[in-house]
Amino acid sequence: MQNDTYLPILVLLLGAIGFAVAPLALACLWAKKFSPAKPGKDKNAIYECGLEASGDAWVQFKPGYYLYAIIFLVFDVETVFLLPFAVSFTGLTLGACIAMLVFLLLLIEGLAWAYQKNVFAWT
Partner 1 sequence: MDEALKIELGKQGIFATSLQELYNWGRKSSIWPLNFGLACCAIEMIATTMARYDLARFGAEVFRPSPRQADLMIVAGTITKKMAPQVVRLYNQMPEPKYVISMGACAISGGPFKQGYNVLKGIDRYIPVDIYIPGCPPRPEALIEGFMALQKKIDEQPLTGSSRPRHLKADEPSEFIVPQFGAHDLEPSQNPTVWHAPLVNISIAGKDDTGTA
Separation of alpha carbons 71 and 111, rounded Å: 7
Pattern 15-34, partner 1, x by CB under 8 A: -------------------x
Distance separating alpha carbons of residues 49 and 42, to the nearest angstrom: 11
50 or 63: CB nearest partner 1: 50
Question: At closest approach, how far in Å is the CB of 38 from partner 1?
Answer: 4
Binder to partner 1 among 5, 19, 24, 48 (CB under 8 A)? Answer: 48
Closest contact distance (angstroms) between CB of 114 and partner 1 is 42
| 59 lines the binding site for partner 1 (CB under 8 A) | no
Residue 45 found at the interface with partner 1 (CB under 8 A): yes
40 binds partner 1 (CB under 8 A): yes
By CB under 8 A, how many residues form the interface with partner 1?
14
Q: Does the footprint of partner 1 cover residue 42 (CB under 8 A)?
A: yes
